[in-house]
């Protein structure tokens, strides 16, 4: 039995709104799917239904030679009927379309209102991911802790700054972090600083945390003096286990996130990131194993 257009539209709307509700309460979804995706789907569905309604009759008449005079079969499309009787040929208007029940109008209005409300909540939730949304005191405290953790890995005095102006990261650059070993200075993308702040506050433990931990550890290893990108990444996923624990993750979560990052690095085939490919020695018991006596890796 074919699904009616109106029923399909209701299903798409409900699915889109349901997704936004799930996104608002799921850090896992927030880490992987942008908040505006559901609204793009909803807008596309609305546009598709409008276009299909307007162009449907044209699609039914591909050949001008097959055109015919509208008759009773077309009454549901708004056509009347031509009839011939004693008074001649005349056109009889179709019966008036029944008005939509108020309940359906109320449902449409309620759906639209819910969409607007969820849209506002999603924007607000997304804004909380901004580094600049934090107070000056919160930024200072987070930067101090991030710097202390980097110094612990680098085994020297260093300074880590959050690149709010996107001078070295983001913007036209895809860099998540950059280090200047000679100056003992590193910059992180602001979104990573925000994730690390949230992690310190115990607010997140998802894939975004894994990425932020590895990037911080990566730049700290550079500040320690390691220049090769592949070796640095290898050391970073290993340092990231203890770093994650110190920042508030459980031992199991920290190890799981770093194993996931290690696996992703092994599977990396992007030629742009060829320099970051893990060396063959980056295995348990290999020359780059920081804890060769520990069977767990990284």
What's the average model confidence in pLDDT over 159-181? 88
Q: Is residue 197 in a domain? A: yes
pLDDT for 107-116, tens place per residue?
Answer: 556 666 666 6
Tokens of 232: 């640095």
User: Do 238 and 138 belong to one domain?
Assistant: yes
State yes or no: pLDDT of 192 exceeds 80: yes
Q: Is residue 61 in a domain? A: no
User: Do 107 and 175 belong to one domain?
Assistant: no
Find residue 89's DSSP bridge partners: 84
pLDDT for residue 273: 79
User: Do 149 and 49 belong to one domain?
Assistant: no
Instruction: Identify the domain containing residue 26 by its residue range.
Output: 1-56+102-127
Percent of the chain surpassing pLDDT 70: 65
State yes or no: pLDDT of 211 exceeds 60: yes
pTM: 0.61
User: Do 117 and 152 belong to one domain?
Assistant: no
User: Do 205 and 144 belong to one domain?
Assistant: yes
pLDDT for residue 113: 65
pLDDT for residue 92: 73
pLDDT for residue 119: 60
User: Do 260 and 199 belong to one domain?
Assistant: yes
Find residue 179's DSSP bridge partners: 186
Q: Is residue 76 in a domain? A: no
Q: Is residue 284 in a domain? A: no
pLDDT band at 226 (very low <50, low <70, confident <90, very high): very high
User: Do 260 and 234 belong to one domain?
Assistant: yes
Contact of 121 with 22, CB cutoff 8 Å:
no
State yes or no: pLDDT of 27 exceeds 70: no
pLDDT band at 121 (very low <50, low <70, confident <90, very high): low
CA–CA gap between residue 298 and residue 295 (Å, rounded): 9
The residue that leads in pLDDT, 70 or 273, is 273
pLDDT for residue 205: 61
CA–CA gap between residue 296 and residue 285 (Å, rounded): 10
Q: Which domain-ending residue is among 127, 162, 186? A: 127
pLDDT for residue 23: 72
**Structural domains counted in the chain:** 2
The residue that leads in pLDDT, 273 or 77, is 273
Q: Is residue 82 in a domain? A: no
pLDDT for 85-96, tens place per residue?
Answer: 777 777 777 666
From residue 272, alpha-carbon distances to 59, 200, 278 in Å are 46, 32, 14
State yes or no: pLDDT of 124 exceeds 60: no
User: Do 122 and 188 belong to one domain?
Assistant: no
pLDDT for residue 220: 98
Contact of 161 with 144, CB cutoff 8 Å:
no
């Amino acid at each position: 039995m074919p699904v009616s257009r109106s029923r399909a539209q209701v299903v798409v709307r409900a699915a889109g709104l349901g997704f936004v509700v799930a996104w608002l309460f799921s850090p896992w979804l927030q880490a992987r799917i942008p908040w505006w995706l559901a609204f793009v789907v909803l807008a596309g569905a609305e546009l598709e239904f409008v276009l299909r309604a307007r162009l449907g009759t044209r699609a039914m008449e591909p050949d001008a030679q097959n055109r015919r005079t509208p008759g009773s079969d077309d009454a549901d499309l708004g056509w009347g009927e031509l009839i011939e009787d004693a008074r001649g040929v005349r056109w009889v208007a179709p019966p008036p379309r029944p008005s939509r029940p108020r309940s359906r109008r109320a449902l449409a209005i309620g759906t639209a209102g819910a969409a607007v409300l969820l849209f506002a909540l999603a924007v607000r939730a997304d804004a909380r991911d901004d580094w600049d949304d934090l107070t000056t005191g919160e930024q200072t405290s987070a930067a101090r802790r991030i710097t202390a953790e980097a110094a612990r890995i680098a085994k020297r005095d260093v300074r880590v700054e959050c690149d709010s102006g996107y001078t070295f990261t983001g913007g036209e650059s895809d860099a998540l972090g950059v280090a200047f070993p000679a100056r003992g200075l590193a910059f992180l993308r602001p979104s990573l600083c925000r994730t690390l702040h949230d992690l310190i506050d115990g607010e997140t433990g998802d894939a975004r945390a894994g990425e932020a931990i590895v990037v911080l550890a990566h730049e700290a290893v550079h500040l320690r003096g390691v220049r090769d990108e592949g070796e640095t990444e290898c050391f970073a996923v290993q340092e990231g286990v203890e770093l994650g624990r110190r920042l508030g993750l459980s031992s199991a979560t920290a190890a799981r996130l770093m194993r996931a990052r290690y696996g992703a690095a092994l599977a990396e085939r992007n030629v742009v990131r060829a320099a970051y490919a893990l060396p063959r020695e980056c295995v348990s018991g290999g020359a780059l194993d920081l804890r060769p006596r520990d069977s767990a890796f990284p």
